[in-house]
């Protein structure tokens, strides 16, 4: 197993923010996804705009965008970044059937021209969008599960990561 130097600790083990001042400015894009499982009746209520707290998906989209913009405030060693674009998309099942698991796929894309990547911003956008769906639907569905939040791809900088299948 390879050993890696911990970038967020100094030689004495103290926490530190990584110095990116010497890195080149490049165009960077990160895509993340996550899933929320819910009852078919809950998804029907979301689609019909009949949830107790109001319009779920647009509220969750706004929460995801705001979360990406505030990632540096939420995660201690993340750099505050001037995000240039964030997109949060929801993929719903084509048919809603009571006997089939109902899952919403959430995908976030974050873009910047800068010295460090936007992976954490894309992941945070997905997480907060999913949490917002959960919060807005918890009164009608106690079975929801947020699952498998992960980075799908990243480009720019020195370590592009191929798209996950």
In a domain, 84, yes or no: yes
In a domain, 7, yes or no: no
Tens of pLDDT, residues 46-98: 999 999 999 999 999 999 999 999 999 998 888 888 999 999 999 999 888 88
* Among 11, 73, 135, 160, the one annotated catalytic: 135
In a domain, 97, yes or no: yes
In a domain, 50, yes or no: yes
In a domain, 20, yes or no: no
How would residue 101 be classed by pLDDT, with cut points 50, 70 and 90? confident
The CATH number for 92's domain is 3.30.70.640
Residue 32: count of CB within 10 angstroms of its CB: 28
Count the domains in the chain.
1
Helix (H, G, I), strand (E, B) or coil at 68: helix
For the chain, what percentages of helix, strand and coil (3-state, to nearest 5) are there?
A: 30, 30, 45
| 10 catalytically annotated | no
Query: pTM for this structure?
Result: 0.87
In a domain, 95, yes or no: yes
Domain ranges, residue 39:
26-155
Q: What is the rounded distance in angstroms from the CA atom of residue 51 to the CA atom of residue 135?
A: 11
Helix (H, G, I), strand (E, B) or coil at 44: helix
19 phi and psi angles, rounded to 5 deg: -85, 110
In a domain, 107, yes or no: yes
Question: Pairing state of beta strands 26-38 and 102-114?
Answer: antiparallel
In a domain, 78, yes or no: yes
């Amino acid at each position: 197993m390879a050993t890696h130097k911990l970038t967020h600790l100094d030689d004495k083990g103290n926490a530190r923010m990584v110095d990116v001042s010497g890195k080149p400015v490049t165009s960077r894009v990160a895509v993340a996804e996550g899933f929320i499982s819910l009852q078919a009746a809950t998804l029907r209520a979301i689609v019909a705009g009949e949830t107790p707290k109001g319009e779920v998906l647009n509220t969750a989209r706004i929460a995801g965008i705001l979360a990406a913009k505030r990632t540096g405030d939420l995660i201690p060693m993340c750099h505050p970044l001037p995000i240039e674009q964030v997109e949060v998309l929801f993929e719903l099942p084509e048919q809603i059937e009571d006997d089939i698991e109902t899952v919403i796929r959430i995908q976030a894309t974050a873009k910047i021209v800068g010295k460090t990547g936007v992976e954490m911003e894309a992941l945070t956008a997905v997480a907060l969008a999913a949490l917002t769906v959960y919060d807005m639907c918890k009164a009608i569905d106690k079975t929801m599960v947020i699952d498998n939040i992960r980075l799908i791809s990243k480009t720019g900088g020195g370590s592009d990561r191929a798209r996950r299948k």
